């Protein structure tokens, strides 16, 4: 479902044009007060132009209508991009037949259309079939192709019980047979929600958007007032200058209606008013592009505000498993011998830790990996949870090797008549203290046994995490690592990864308590989770991202679902949230800053005839009053189109402190917003001066 975020193609604009025109309907447009006022102005000037036709009047009318159309276009394009995604999702859910289990021994199964499934129904799905609805696997294990939703072609395993039991309607079972208990209500499946989301149908205004709308409404009222009260002032000014002949812009009855509307449209924040909803839609869209589904826009905005990030250690901060990081000799065992013994004793250990010993021996000591079949007369002893050891017994010469938990190996050495040096305990304690896990390697030859050394296993922090967390800190986000490890281990990893804090020996209720404490301190908390026992915490967190691989309970509790089940995605989500707000703020600033230049275009155009001194305000040296007013209106309309791409793409966000960010955005959108229209209006004036009716 990943669609190309790409640049805005002109074709896309054209395709959205019909939609944009449909949105001219006042019944839909009134929801956007700024543009609604522009439309009213356009209607009124149309009437005026029809009553007193002039080239100038009709040009203004045309561009006023274009202003509204351009604003609608922005929204239509944003929605259009979602539509393509919705289409591919609809295909995924087309015409699936469900095999519902009836519980009746005679007809154990019946075929019904998927949309008729209800919560609690049990369905059976076999290889090659499409899962008819969202639910949990209650029986069996299967490989599932979820590419229709996640875009990932690699199959995933879904099995009953545990945290990998959730399946999504519309995905395909590749192997085996599973029984699924449906957990959705009809028409409210995950795919349905996704479609609604990407189409923007379920979009509600987010809190910041509402606040911004209030501010824009207030600004609109101010300018409405400034323009409305200009009329009696202009009439007075005209009255006291009886020698000045009436001009097309200013006559006995004050400023011409067309000009008054032009001034109003130029002043009210049309730029941000036009783009505001597109920014919101595009923000959600960017999340979808990254395979994250947010159930509410509020959550996306909250992501930008997150003050504390709870991250599970395993899989998020560290690679999934512990790995061998050093071989430590005991009692003067030669290092090569220790490495050889460690490798041999681990060959039968298929756990990730065991594999890592073999890999480490190869990488560090250049020991070729031997396969169990390669050695004759060897009895392999695999790792079990009971013995907590793995190893090998060799016949010729008779020699046994064991590798495992330090205590277990020590007992084994003693049992074979050997002594365990105190050094072992010291080394093992040292490793434990540093957060690692010690594994001892022992050898028994002909009735005598000894400890060869210790393997230091440790958690390996993913590459780049330290920098990532540094970035977070500069963004003002506190990172807290959640782990089931003991405090010692947790601290060591926390230090290495560079998180700000950790919660060791964490139980789900500890997590919940931590979230509550952070929230009581005024911080917004974001977390990821997948298990059912994460559900309360996910629900409590302000941003709860459930892994798509997780249980239905987790997905219900959170307010976002990551289809890639990538816990580090949280960081990107935060960035998207911030980008959404930044884009709104930046374009608002730009929109307001634009007004300054427009005044310099329109005020002298209107009043220089009455008060010759005001011609000095015509700093752009615009051709004529008509061309000045038209240029301002044209610029105002075109700038909307010019800003559609940044509105949809979002203003670039680079993590960093608030001050730097503000400086940059102020320079670009504040100062840029002041300067751009001076250049733009002048350029347009250079062109439109050749139109008829411009002098």
Q: Does 325 count as an annotated binding residue?
A: no
Taking CB under 8 A as the rule, does residue 667 contact other proteins?
A: no
Q: Identify the three-state secondary structure at position 396.
A: coil
The yes-or-no answer on residue 106 being catalytic is no
From residue 174 to residue 213, the character string flagging contacts with other proteins as x (rule: CB under 8 A) and all else as - is ---------------------------------xx-xxx-
306 versus 409: smaller Cβ distance to other proteins:
306
- Given candidates 274, 593, 637, 681, which one binds other proteins under the rule CB under 8 A? 593
In angstroms, the CA 311 to CA 468 distance is: 13
> In the window 258-277, what residues touch other proteins (CB under 8 A)?
267
Radius of gyration of the chain (CA): 35
CA angle, residues 216, 217, 218, in degrees to nearest 5: 90
Sign of CA dihedral 53, 56, 60, 66: positive
Q: Does 385 count as an annotated binding residue?
A: yes
Q: Does 106 count as an annotated binding residue?
A: no
As beta bridge partners, residue 378 has 394
Taking CB under 8 A as the rule, does residue 397 contact other proteins?
A: no
- The single residue listed with the structure tokens 């501010």 is 215
Q: Among 181, 185, 167, which Cα is nearest to 130's?
A: 167
437 versus 589: smaller Cβ distance to other proteins:
589
In angstroms, the CA 608 to CA 622 distance is: 12
Question: How many H-runs (helices) and E-runs (strands) does the chain carry?
Answer: 23, 24
Tokens of 11: 């074709």
DSSP assigned state of 668: I
Q: Identify the three-state secondary structure at position 138.
A: strand
Q: Among 626, 115, 63, 570, which Cα is nearest to 300's?
A: 570
From residue 274 to residue 313, the character string flagging contacts with other proteins as x (rule: CB under 8 A) and all else as - is ---------------------------x--xx-x------
- Closest contact distance (angstroms) between CB of 217 and other proteins is 7
State the burial class of residue 354 (Cβ atoms within 10 Å of its Cβ: 0-12, 13-18, 19+): buried
Q: Does 345 count as an annotated binding residue?
A: no
201 versus 658: smaller Cβ distance to other proteins:
658
Taking CB under 8 A as the rule, does residue 124 contact other proteins?
A: no
Dihedrals phi, psi of 203, to nearest 5 degrees: -70, 125
- Given candidates 282, 592, 628, 632, which one binds other proteins under the rule CB under 8 A? 592
134 versus 595: smaller Cβ distance to other proteins:
595
- Given candidates 6, 120, 187, 243, which one binds other proteins under the rule CB under 8 A? 243
215 versus 686: smaller Cβ distance to other proteins:
215
Q: Does 607 count as an annotated binding residue?
A: no
In angstroms, the CA 686 to CA 342 distance is: 82
Taking CB under 8 A as the rule, does residue 254 contact other proteins?
A: no
- Given candidates 476, 679, 686, 687, which one binds other proteins under the rule CB under 8 A? 476
What single string gives the DSSP state of each residue in 214-272?
Answer: HHHHHHHHHHHHHHHHHHHHHHHHHHT-TTSPP-SSEETTEE-HHHHHHHHHHHS-HHH
- The single residue listed with the structure tokens 């036709």 is 53
In angstroms, the CA 681 to CA 633 distance is: 9
9 versus 662: smaller Cβ distance to other proteins:
662
State the burial class of residue 7 (Cβ atoms within 10 Å of its Cβ: 0-12, 13-18, 19+): exposed
Q: Does 383 count as an annotated binding residue?
A: yes
Q: Does 534 count as an annotated binding residue?
A: yes
Taking CB under 8 A as the rule, does residue 84 contact other proteins?
A: no
92 touches 191 (CB < 8 A): yes
- Given candidates 32, 171, 631, 665, which one binds other proteins under the rule CB under 8 A? 665
Taking CB under 8 A as the rule, does residue 236 contact other proteins?
A: yes
Taking CB under 8 A as the rule, does residue 666 contact other proteins?
A: yes
- Given candidates 257, 354, 577, 680, which one binds other proteins under the rule CB under 8 A? 577
Q: Does 274 count as an annotated binding residue?
A: no
Taking CB under 8 A as the rule, does residue 684 contact other proteins?
A: no
Taking CB under 8 A as the rule, does residue 154 contact other proteins?
A: no
Q: Does 386 count as an annotated binding residue?
A: yes
Taking CB under 8 A as the rule, does residue 416 contact other proteins?
A: no
66 versus 227: smaller Cβ distance to other proteins:
227
> In the window 511-540, what residues touch other proteins (CB under 8 A)?
520-523
Q: Among 322, 331, 324, which Cα is nearest to 425's?
A: 331
601 touches 635 (CB < 8 A): no
From residue 434 to residue 473, the character string flagging contacts with other proteins as x (rule: CB under 8 A) and all else as - is ---------------------------------------x
Taking CB under 8 A as the rule, does residue 222 contact other proteins?
A: yes
121 versus 305: smaller Cβ distance to other proteins:
305
The residue count for the chain: 695
Q: Does 489 count as an annotated binding residue?
A: no
CA angle, residues 122, 124, 125, in degrees to nearest 5: 135
From residue 602 to residue 621, the character string flagging contacts with other proteins as x (rule: CB under 8 A) and all else as - is -x---xxxxxxxxxxx----
- Closest contact distance (angstroms) between CB of 618 and other proteins is 9
94 versus 616: smaller Cβ distance to other proteins:
616
In angstroms, the CA 81 to CA 5 distance is: 9
3-state secondary structure 415-464: HCCCCCCHHHHHHHHHHHHCCCEEEEEEEEECCEEEEEEEEEEEEEECCC
Q: Does 560 count as an annotated binding residue?
A: no
In angstroms, the CA 551 to CA 613 distance is: 74
- Closest contact distance (angstroms) between CB of 160 and other proteins is 42
Question: Which residue in 192, 312, 485, 566 is the catalytic one?
Answer: 312
The interface region with other proteins, picked from 120-128, 366-374, 550-558, 599-607 by CB under 8 A, is: 599-607
Taking CB under 8 A as the rule, does residue 670 contact other proteins?
A: yes
Q: Crossing angle for the helix pair 297-305 and 207-239, nearest 10 degrees?
A: 90
- Closest contact distance (angstroms) between CB of 551 and other proteins is 31
Bind-site residues for ATP: 349, 353, 383-390, 403
Residues in the annotated binding site for Mg(2+): 530, 534
Residues known to be catalytic: 312
């Amino acid at each position: 479902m990943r669609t190309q975020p790409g640049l805005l193609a002109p074709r896309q604009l054209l395709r959205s044009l019909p939609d944009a025109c449909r949105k001219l309907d006042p019944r839909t447009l009134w929801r956007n007060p700024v543009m609604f006022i522009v439309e009213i102005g356009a209607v009124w000037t149309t009437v005026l132009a029809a009553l007193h036709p002039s080239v100038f009047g009709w040009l203004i009318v045309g561009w006023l209508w274009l202003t509204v159309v351009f604003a609608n276009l922005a929204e239509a394009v944003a929605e259009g991009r979602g539509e393509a995604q919705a289409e591919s999702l609809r295909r995924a859910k087309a015409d699936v037949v469900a095999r519902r289990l009836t519980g009746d021994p005679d007809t154990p199964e019946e075929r019904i259309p998927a949309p008729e499934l209800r919560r609690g129904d049990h369905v059976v799905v076999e290889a090659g079939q499409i899962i008819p609805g969202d639910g949990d696997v209650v029986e069996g294990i299967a490989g599932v192709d979820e590419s229709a939703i996640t875009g990932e072609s690699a199959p995933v395993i879904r099995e009953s019980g545990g945290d990998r039991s959730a399946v999504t309607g519309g995905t395909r079972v590749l192997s085996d047979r599973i029984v699924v208990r449906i957990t959705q209500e009809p028409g409210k499946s995950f795919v349905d929600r996704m479609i609604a989301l990407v189409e923007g149908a379920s979009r509600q205004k987010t809190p910041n958007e509402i606040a911004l709308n209030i501010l824009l409404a207030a600004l609109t009222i101010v300018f409405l007032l400034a323009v409305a009260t200009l009329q009696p002032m202009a009439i007075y000014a005209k009255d006291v200058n009886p020698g000045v002949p009436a001009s097309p812009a200013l006559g006995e009855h004050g400023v011409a209606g067309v000009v008054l509307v032009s001034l109003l449209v130029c002043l009210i924040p049309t730029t941000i008013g036009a783009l505001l909803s597109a920014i919101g839609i595009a923000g959600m869209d960017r999340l979808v592009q990254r395979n994250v589904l947010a159930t509410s826009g509020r959550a996306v905005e909250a992501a930008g505000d997150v003050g504390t990030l709870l991250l599970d250690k395993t899989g998020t901060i560290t690679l999934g498993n512990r790995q061998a990081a050093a071989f430590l000799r005991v009692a003067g065992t030669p290092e090569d011998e220790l490495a050889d013994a460690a490798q041999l004793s681990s060959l039968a250990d298929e756990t990730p830790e065991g594999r890592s010993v073999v890999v480490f021996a190869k990488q560090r000591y250049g020991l070729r990996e031997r396969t169990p079949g390669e050695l004759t007369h060897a009895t392999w002893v695999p790792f079990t949870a009971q013995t907590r050891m793995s190893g090998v017994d060799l016949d010729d010469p008779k020699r046994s090797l064991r590798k495992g938990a330090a205590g277990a190996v020590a007992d084994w050495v003693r049992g074979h008549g050997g002594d365990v040096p105190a050094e072992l305990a010291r080394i093992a304690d040292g490793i434990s203290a540093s957060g690692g896990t010690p594994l001892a390697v022992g050898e028994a030859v002909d009735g005598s046994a000894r400890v060869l050394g210790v393997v230091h296993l440790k958690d390996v922090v993913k590459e780049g995490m330290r920098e990532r967390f540094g970035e977070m800190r500069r963004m003002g986000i506190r990172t807290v690592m959640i782990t089931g490890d003991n405090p010692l281990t947790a601290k060591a990893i926390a230090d290495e990864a560079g998180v700000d804090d950790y919660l060791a020996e964490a139980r789900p209720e500890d997590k919940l308590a931590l979230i509550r404490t952070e929230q009581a301190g005024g911080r917004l908390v974001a977390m990821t989770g997948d298990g059912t026992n994460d559900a309360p915490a996910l629900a409590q967190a302000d941003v709860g991202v459930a892994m798509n691989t997780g249980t239905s309970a987790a997905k219900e509790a959170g307010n976002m679902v990551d289809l890639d089940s990538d816990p580090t995605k949280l960081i990107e989500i935060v960035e998207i949230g911030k980008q959404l707000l930044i884009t709104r703020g930046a374009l608002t600033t730009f929109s307001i800053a634009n007004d300054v230049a427009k005044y310099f275009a329109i005020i002298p155009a209107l009043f220089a005839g009455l008060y010759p001194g005001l011609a000095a305000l015509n700093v752009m040296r615009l051709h004529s009053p008509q061309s000045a007013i038209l240029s301002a209106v044209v610029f105002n309309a075109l700038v909307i189109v010019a800003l559609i791409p940044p509105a949809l793409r979002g203003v670039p966000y680079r993590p960093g402190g608030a001050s730097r960010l503000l400086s940059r955005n102020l320079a670009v959108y504040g100062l840029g917003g002041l300067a751009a229209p001076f250049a733009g209006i002048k350029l347009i004036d250079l062109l439109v001066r050749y139109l008829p009716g411009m002098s």
